Amino acid sequence: MNLIKSALLGARNCLCASSRQQRLAQLASTGEVPCSVAFYHRVADTVANGWTMSTQQFREHIDYFQSRMTIVDLAEVQWRVREGHSVDQSMSITFDDGYADNMDYAIPLLIERDIPCTYFVTTQNVINGKPFPHDRDAGQPLQPNTVAQIREMSDAGIEIGCHTRRHIDFSNVHSIEHVRSEIIEAKDELEQMIGRPVHYFAFPFGLPAQLTQAAIEIVHEAGFAGFCSAFGAYNHIGNDWFHIRRFHGDPEFERLVNWCTYDTAKARTEPRVQYFLPPAKSFEQTQAMMPSMPVPHITTFGSFHA
């Protein structure tokens, strides 16, 4: 984002600040403040790929969230959406893929500050130690997390989520056996890795094209409590709680502020994702499978040992 565009967006944020605050106050009065979920990939100051942000930028984001929003976990987001009770601005933080560099700064910072986070892992890259295909193809073979690091994060209180076995694009997969392997086998591998249940799934790429009916059905069949997209949207109260909508934790700070102050234009242009699930599991039945995750709640963590 160039300086001119950043300045224009900053000016727009300032001009809209009062009207947005009034709108949020109206939504708060009826318990309908939308929930925000941001996703990140890699936080590091070296060898940047297209999804890397610096440690300083990440710290600025966390400072902003803590000063203006309530930071919650994904279970709390789902509870607010379903129960129709959200009286303040909330933020849930997630990571995708599983980059080793996140252990150097981002994860210790979150645990030091007792901030909830869901860390979505592509299992085969972690197990085999091979770089992600998109980085290898770009000539930047960055190191994924190790199994030991994922276990250490889980033991320290970071929620580990599933991001398939091989970071596949479901829009290009036409074999139901392949879909099942990338979802169900990935969940099994991850649960064996950390010795705990895995409750959430995030679609690689996360655009409407990847959110196929077959894949969502198998996510549901596998017993996940919900799935995450990544096309940029809010979680509106009373909406579909099984589908958790996320936006990019943009390194351009003004774009992040624009999202966090609730841009109604973005809300109006959100893509529609339609799918159908068998009525096998109600929200209460899903929660009964997760006795360690009562709702509503805000998670706090213990000490982290790097």
Q: Is the pLDDT of residue 292 over 50?
A: no
The residue count of the chain comes to 306
pLDDT at 154 over 90: yes
Domain locations in the chain?
A: 34-288
Q: Tell me the helix, strand and coil percentages in the chain, rounded to 5.
A: 45, 15, 40
Is 291's pLDDT higher than 50? no
Per-residue pLDDT, 293: 41
CA–CA separation, 1 and 37 (whole Å) = 22
pLDDT of 6: 59
Model pLDDT, residue 301: 29
Does the pLDDT value for residue 305 go beyond 50?
A: no
| Amino acid 294: pLDDT | 36
- Of residues 270 and 302, more confidently modeled: 270
Residue 104 DSSP code: T
Checking if the pLDDT of 216 tops 80, the result is yes
Mean pLDDT of the region 59-80: 98
Give the C-alpha distances (Å, rounded to integers) separating 67 from 29, 30, 60, 70, 221: 21, 23, 11, 9, 39
Query: What mean pLDDT comes out for the span 133-145?
Result: 93
Which band of pLDDT confidence, cut at 50, 70 and 90, is reported for residue 31?
Answer: very high
Instruction: Write the class of the CATH domain 34-288.
Output: alpha beta
The predicted pLDDT at position 7 comes to 59
- Region 101-105: what's the mean pLDDT? 98
pLDDT above 60 for 288: no
Q: What is the mean pLDDT of residues 83-112?
A: 98
pLDDT for 290? 47
Q: Which tokens belong to 209?
A: 């094209």
156-173 pLDDT tens trace:
999 999 999 999 999 999
CB 46 within 8 A of CB 139: no
Using CA atoms, how far residue 239 sits from 30, 187, 273, in Å, is 15, 26, 12
Say yes or no to pLDDT of 302 above 80.
no
pLDDT mean over 273-302: 54
Cα 79 to Cα 294: distance, rounded to the nearest angstrom: 10
Q: Are 212 and 170 in contact (CB under 8 A)?
A: yes
Share of the chain above pLDDT 70, in %: 87
- At 303, is the pLDDT very low, low, confident or very high (cuts 50, 70, 90)? very low
Question: What's the confidence (pLDDT) of residue 151?
Answer: 98
Beta-strand runs (E) in the chain: 35-40, 42-43, 52-53, 70-71, 90-95, 118-121, 159-162, 200-202, 226-228, 243-244, 247-248
List the structure tokens of 226. Answer: 């919900």
